[in-house]
Structure 1
């Protein structure tokens, strides 16, 4: 049976991937810093290899005997240069692929990575696509839309009736449920399909922040209005809460880089469209988070 390794197995995508792999009868290898964060019910069905992805030797050791790897960059906003960190971790993964003759790799990337430059923190993912592509391994790059779960990062603002964004309020882009990304990841890790591909994961429809505010208001019963902020205002907000200059610039750049005239390289079609609507996700996850404490 194919041995599959999963990074960030407690994240919004990774946790779903792990459960699907276990339910499919595999015993995945999990790379993570702290096994205590795992659901204890999963422990009999997985192989835990604790360590830090920033440690090249750990990544190589932890993927020994692995046939397929799901690679996610756990973007570290505490370092001086998050994009340099993303590139470094991709080099660690590439080294592991070569030294352990891993045959298949699924990379979680982002819409916008096709631009390679000028998209803030997404530039690091564009570099990771190139670094891992150079290994010659069978590679699936998933260019994912904006996560619904990013709304949870703004929960306090939303609780106050505001949805802040530096994006033009009516600019529509792909939004996606991380669970749906996990479905696509697991299906491809289990299929063993050879070759190199880039695939979009775009959710059921393109949404603007105005669309999102209306849906959130309707589903949760909690009125929310979009508050547009300028780039310099967003930068000041981010640095005021302790983010370093490059991290803050990277977050601002993600929005400014796809704000005007950008069209994802992968078109919306039957392959890139996934089923979970924002309304369904908001009812299940956002509504309880907004409930009175």
Structure 2
């Protein structure tokens, strides 16, 4: 079967591509710069230079695909949600034009609300576009609505070195935390399987829900540092983001990614044996975060 993988140098896409090669598949991987692929992977995949922002190039690169792993890459747009939706439209065009039978989309908890979740709204719009595209030929679409990536902690290294883990959420607010590699495991399994149809979603939630207070304790033990959780206001976050050079809409889309949780909205994909994946934050932090700090 022909399986196409986008963002093959990302945390999830790289895992998907590697697992497919181990399963005996030579996937087609779309990368803006195929030279960034690890050398040992490059010789086991069909690498295609493709900018996902180029709709015609995406359609050409996915011709003949049986299955597609689609990720909306960040665009740097002043309106991040609109940027994700624009990328999603290109993926949907490829699904429609090439009549792709199975599409696995890397989405997020909160996308099901379609609005009010910051830049996640762009993923919600992509879900709709992929569903509409697949419906025309009876294709199947699976949305992986994932929890909070462990790798987000790489963007907080300065704070962690100072002994603090900050969030706009109350420090005791629990949410799913997940290793992106485990998301890749789920995605690869579904891409290889022909035994599903229609439109569906699946949460990918890691082994347990954690509050930021829980995460601070885990990270502290795993890295040998004292780390405490601290809630900051949305306005304080806005000030930090503006100081980093983000525009007003970019700031609001980042803030909005947690504001829907503060409003008490609950994701549709609840925790179950199907959504629970194995890698703990402690194991991930010991392997990846300790050396980074």
> Which TM-score band (shorter chain)?
over 0.9
RMSD of aligned Cα (Å): 1.0
Q: Deviations over 1:102-150 (max 9, x none)?
A: 1110001001112111110111111111111112120111100000110
User: Counterparts in 2 of 1:37-186, with a 5 A limit?
Assistant: 37-76=36-75, 78-135=76-133, 136=135, 137-186=139-188
CA distance in 1, matches of 2:210, 2:201: 22
CA distance in 2, matches of 1:258, 1:112: 9
> Per-residue deviation at 1:259?
2.1
Could you tell me which residue of structure 2 aligns to residue 241 of structure 1?
Answer: 244
Matched, 1:219 2:222: yes
User: After alignment, is 88-97 or 259-268 more displaced?
Assistant: 259-268
TM-score of the superposition, structure 1-length normalised?
0.96
Matched, 1:285 2:292: no
> Per-residue deviation at 1:52?
1.0
User: After alignment, is 272-281 or 78-87 more displaced?
Assistant: 78-87
> Per-residue deviation at 1:43?
1.6
CA distance in 2, matches of 1:23, 1:208: 35
Q: How many residues align?
A: 288
CA distance in 2, matches of 1:59, 1:125: 18
> Per-residue deviation at 1:194?
2.8
SS at match of 2:35: helix
Contact 1:142 1:200 in 2 (8 A): yes
> Per-residue deviation at 1:193?
2.3
Could you tell me which residue of structure 2 aligns to residue 270 of structure 1?
Answer: 273
Contact 2:73 2:87 in 1 (8 A): no
